[in-house]
Amino acid sequence: MMTTNKFLNLYSHDFARVAVAIPKCRIADPAFNAAETIALARQAEQQGAVLAAFPELGLSAYTCDDLFHQRALLDACEAALATVVEASATLSLALIVGLPLRVGHQLFNCAVVIAGGRIQGIVPKSYLPNYGEFYEMRQFSPAENAATSEVELFGASVPFGTGLLFEVSNLPLLKFHVEICEDVWVPIPPSSFAALAGASVLVNLSASNVVVGKAGYRHQLVAQQSARCLSAYLYTSAGKGESSTDLAWDGQGLIYENGELLAESERFLDDSHTIFADVDLERLSRERMRQTTFGQSVRRHAGEVARFEVIRFELALPLDKALPLARTVERFPYVPADPKRRDERCTEVYNIQVQALVQRLSASKISKVVIGVSGGLDSTHALLVCAKAMDRLNLPRANILAYTMPGFATSERTLLQARQLMQVVGASAAEIDIRPSCLQMLKDLGHPYADGQEQFDITFENVQAGERTNHLFRLANFNNAIVIGTGDLSELALGWCTYGVGDHMSHYNVNASVPKTLISHLVRWVAETGAIGGQGSDVLLNVLDTEISPELVPGKASGKPEQITENVIGPYELQDFNLYYILRYGFAPSKVAFLALSAWQDKSAGNWPNDAKVVRNQYDLAAIKRNLAIFLDRFFRTSQFKRSCVPNAPKVGSGGSLSPRGDWRAPSDSEATVWLDDLDNIPG
């Protein structure tokens, strides 16, 4: 078992804290610039970072122009570099700094990687812009002009070239590559091949003057390069102090991970500053494993990949203390926290479900659907999807044959909600009391309940679930319709469905890849947008306030449900979190627990409708571990046989589905041992 401090340290879970620094500079004053660099490097180390990137030509300033051909400046830049190298001996992170460097009678625009009091390697700029306001070829030579792969500097031989990768040997998933400014603006950046060669973190030392609209384009450029390369991308640029003779500078720093923005600097600041982000190195590695075309690209570009040399060095990682994540981990990974993105997500999910059902009805030349409406969450959302599909097909909503089927434990609340829902949607509503047929089945089975005994076992429950589905299928036969399934992704993951002729089965299931937490948000979204009118919105909000229960066991005199689903299988908000990170990324349970703890300890990580007036659950590590154990056993050991033969259903999100024809193929007789064993790495 990990110690508590080790478990709570981000480096124990294959994260790396990285920094992008924007120092203020003085033109042609390398000593001042070196001092600023060292000061920011020390700040980065104090924050637990292991990598810090500084701007292009940061030790000299970018806007020196023909001063770059003055020996006094070049000598001073090398002296400043020596100062930074010396300071790095007492720092436990790698630095990447920019300066002009003389090599074999040529001058190169270089990035120097420094760690542990020595230069680990030097990378010259590949592409020199010589258009618009740029005239770099007047002073510098491109990397391809270099006649050597090593340079002598400060009495040591140092690797020199664009084919260098740098690996932190005691954090092996941290392998980084450096390119400079224009290199990422070309059709095939050098970092593309570096990523194929194994670099998980790509670093760009840039100067990049600012003009209107350029900041947004940098975002696009860096986001796309990080996404295409399945990597993190660190981008730093020059800020305060560069010459304003003809240009302006905004000091924009960016950190992206696989297309997602993790951190961005404030632009146009007067003081030196640094941004930080915790990069999930394992996530990047697993994405490359999963996306097999990445490996195909490695093979196709084998010649370019083969030219890279890996330089390894150790860093003193800050492992002796708790170091929580500095990035926000959303409690509801299927639901964006940002209101604008959340509305977009809800709209898209809803339309995916509707379009899929429209296609199925059109292809089968069937114009009617049969659906069971319980007054609970899942069937409510499925009914809304059916209503929209009928609208899209220009068919009357009366073609939705909706049935509520009260059983032995149906509450007055859910029965009323079912009746109201069918009315506000405009479906053809009917009510079938399944108790007589269930009693006949129980009598045929010789079940004690048929003789008046209160034996509420699994058979008693499944007889009711089976009778409902049996009625729906026969009603579909009789009316030339198809049965719409309502069960969701969360229930499939946990096996919380009656196999075969039960809520497990339908002709087409619109909810099968939508998790419970997302369905909850979708229903709230429909209610708050007023899509089905004020009365309908009130009904939907009542559904959302209803305890989740199968209502198969009669309750006590209190009127409350005897069965509360989450008392058995755990809170859906936790189990959906577990599902996302285990299904989507295959993370070890201990890492999932670390992420869950990070999410529920971070008050900013809550999602809509979590505002100042709403207090959501807070889970400690013990609760997270306990519920994760429930999830692992049910997901890996007991439930796969139900997923191996599920009905057709549309995949909705990149978080995955559990269709055996799509995202998830697994044996029905697997053990959960290795996952449960990993729980021992969680303290407490």
The two counts, helices (H) then strands (E), for the chain are: 22, 20
Distance CA 357, CA 389 (A): 7
The b/e string for 316-355 (b: 16+ C-beta within 10 A; e otherwise) is ebbeeeebebbbebbbbbbbbbeeeebeebbeebbebbbe
CA distance 414 to 542: 9
> Could you tell me which of 576, 460, 456 has the C-alpha nearest to residue 516?
576
Contacts (Cβ under 8 Å, ≥6 apart) of 49: 17, 18, 19, 93, 276
Check whether 130 is labelled as a binding-site residue: no
**Contact (CB, 8 A) for 323 and 48:** yes
Q: Is 235 annotated as a binding residue?
A: no
245 labelled as ligand-binding? no
Residue 467 annotated in active site: no
- Alpha helix segments (H runs only) across 446-512: 458-479, 489-494
Sorted by sequence, the CB contacts under 8 Å of residue 43 that are 6+ apart come out as 274
Q: Which of 198, 31, 176, 196 is nearest to 95 (CA)?
A: 176
376 belongs to an annotated ligand binding site: yes
500 is in an annotated binding site: no
Contacts 24+ apart (CB under 8 A), 604-609: 604/328, 605/328, 605/329, 605/330, 605/331, 605/337, 606/331, 606/337, 607/330, 607/331, 607/332, 607/335, 607/336, 607/337, 607/342, 607/521, 608/335, 608/337, 608/339, 608/342, 608/521, 608/524, 609/524
Residue 642 labelled as part of a binding site: yes
Q: Running DSSP on this structure, what letter comes out for residue 160?
A: B
- On whether 201 is known to bind a ligand per the annotation, the reply is no
List 25, 64, 181, 229, catalytic entry: 181
Query: Is 581 flagged in the annotation as binding?
Result: no
Beta bridge partner(s), residue 9? 323
Q: Decide if 261 contacts 219 (C-beta within 8 A).
A: yes
Q: Residue 94 and residue 98: Cα distance in Å, rounded?
A: 14
**Residues 6+ positions from 231 with CB-CB distance below 8 Å:** 191, 195, 199, 200, 201, 202, 225, 257, 258, 284
Compute φ and ψ for 80, nearest 5 degrees: -65, -40
Percentages helix, strand, coil for the chain, rounded to the nearest 5? Answer: 45, 15, 40
Check: CB of residue 204 under 8 Å from CB of residue 186. no
- Determine whether the annotation assigns residue 60 to a binding site: no
Rounded to a whole number, what is the distance in angstroms from the first to the last CA of the chain?
Answer: 9
- Determine whether the annotation assigns residue 491 to a binding site: yes
Which residue is catalytic, options 25, 36, 77, 125? 125
Distance from the Cα of residue 133 to its chain's centroid: 39
Contact by Cβ (8 Å): 491, 516: yes
Chain-centre distance of CA 13, in angstroms? 16
Task: Tell whether residue 560 is among the known ligand binding residues.
Answer: no
Task: State yes or no: 654 annotated in a binding site.
Answer: no
184 marked among binding-site residues: no
Catalytic status, residue 110: no
The continuous run of DSSP H or E covering 234 comes out as strand 232-236
The answer to whether residue 591 is catalytic is no
CB 112 within 8 A of CB 119: yes
In terms of Cα–Cα distance, which of 540, 609, 602, 591 is closest to 387? 540
- Catalytic entry in 45, 56, 136, 257: 56
- Tell how far CA 429 is from the center of its chain: 41
CA diameter of the chain:
103
The token duo for 25 is: 């500079």
CA distance linking residue 488 with residue 379, whole number of Å: 10
499 is in an annotated binding site: yes
User: Per the annotation, does 449 bind a ligand?
Assistant: no
Q: What does the angle CA 175 – CA 177 – CA 179 come to, to the nearest 5 degrees?
A: 165
The tokens for 147 are 């006649």
From residue 276, give the alpha-carbon distance in Å to each of 216, 273, 413, 503, 584.
20, 10, 51, 48, 26
- Known binding site for ATP: residues? 372-379, 486
Q: Which residues are catalytic?
A: 56, 125, 181
- Known binding site for deamido-NAD(+): residues? 462, 491, 496-499, 642
- Known binding site: residues? 131, 208, 214, 372-379, 462, 486, 491, 496-499, 642
- Known binding site for L-glutamine: residues? 131, 208, 214
